[in-house]
Amino acid sequence: MLGSIAEGRTAVSGFLAGEDCLATLAAMRALGVEIQQPKPTEMSIEGVGLHGLKAPSADLDLGNSGTAMRLMAGLLSGQTFDSVLTGDESLTGRPMSRIIKPLTAMGATINSVDGKPPLLIHGTDALRAIDYEMPVASAQVKSAVLLAGLYADGVTSVTEPAVTRDHTERMLGSMGVSVSAASGRISVAGGQPLRGCSVRVPADLSSAAFVMLAALLADNADIQITNVGVNPTRTGVIDILQGMGADITLDNPQLSGKEPVADIRVRSSRLRGGAVDPALVSLAIDEFPVLFVAAAAASGKTEFSGIGELRVKESDRIAAMSEGLRNLGIQVDESADGAVVHGGQFSGGTVQSHGDHRIAMSLALAGTVAGDEVRVEDVAAVDTSFPGFCDCMASIGANIRPISGS
């Protein structure tokens, strides 16, 4: 997205050809941006500048990507043409009022039914800056408002109630945009041009979390995952697992552009339960399905609180993980914004992913240490974020394989 509205060429290496990324790529092409892929993991984006996007000839289908939906709503609110954002059955059921409200306050006109996609965005060249206090910590909402702020008159500020991932701010800085951040308040002045640059995308910590847990639960495992993004707004999963007794170390720390990266070394560990600090929730929001499985494999009970945001992800992840673990013989006490997971022994059985990629992969990991075979249904969504998941797991010795029709 940022390369598309920059001036000049942006060269990307380390591109993940997952369905979410491919849907975003297709949407930017539909907006008139020339994007080449000389290799599956490389992109060359010919930026058209802040005001060079063109009206799409059809609705923009973002598949399963909530990130693309929310960020593009901010980006497209500042264009002079109308556009429609839609997606698959899961995405069209997810709440978008949290972005519609601040963008409307900036002067955007967005039509929806009950605050859910499709979103009809009426173009305007008269966005105004706002000072927005987010009621719920959300990097997607923050980023949507900041992107709209590039097209607004004045300085747009977002205050977040808890730290959220800051990839957008770092990337804007890499492209020459002045972004200020202090005491949880992030500000950007409208009208600043972006400059194309070279971007080397680190390995994704959310995907690495599955490899990490597989190693932690195995016997006598010792693995290293190289060049992983360890942005401090994302490392809550490492902090939580280390607090449970996980042997995880970060080696070879360095910067990739403005993003910190490191090699992650993981050794088999005996995990123990406990109360997870709610302050870490926003730093690990996408990894809680993995953490539910870690808690189920740990001794004692693990208490999660302040995780109500999980109920409005690709699925209700609290309910989906509670159901799946119970079907595998684990006791889970569920509450509105939390859960207590009682450590135990996984049994075999059939579990539902509810079409959620992270639920599917997390429950598959439970199967690697279960007393009998675990079958996970409806796993096609895994390709949205981790194509090649089964092959990756097999490469470190996990017996996870796809079954035709599942």
Residue closest to 323 by CA, chosen among 299, 284, 296? 296
| Distance, CA of 353 to CA of 375 (rounded, Å) | 10
Q: Of 125, 286, 337, 372, which one is the catalytic site residue?
A: 286
Q: How far apart are the first and last CA of the chain?
A: 33
State the amino acid at position 289 in one-letter form.
Answer: P
**Could you give the CA distance from residue 185 to residue 133 in angstroms, rounded to a whole number?**
9
Tokens of 114: 């009950």
Among 127, 225, 129, 230, smallest CA distance to 170 is for 230
H/E segment holding residue 45: strand 42-48
Question: How far is the C-alpha of 355 from the C-alpha of 217, rounded, in Å?
Answer: 25
Q: Which amino acid is at 243?
A: G
Q: Are strands 131-133 and 155-159 parallel, antiparallel or unpaired?
A: parallel
Q: Which long-range contacts (CB under 8 A, 24 or more apart) does 218-221 make?
A: 218/268, 218/368, 218/369, 218/397, 218/398, 219/268, 220/268, 221/266, 221/267, 221/268, 221/396, 221/397
CA neighbours closer than 13 Å in the CB half-sphere of residue 258 = 12
The helix or strand, by DSSP H or E, that contains position 332, with its residue range, turns out to be: strand 332-335
Torsion of Cα atoms, 27 then 29 then 31 then 33, to 10°? 140
Enumerate the H helices of 244-375 as residue ranges.
288-297, 317-327, 357-367
Residues 322 and 338: their CA atoms lie apart, in Å, by: 10
Catalytic (active site) residue 383: no
Catalytic residues: 286
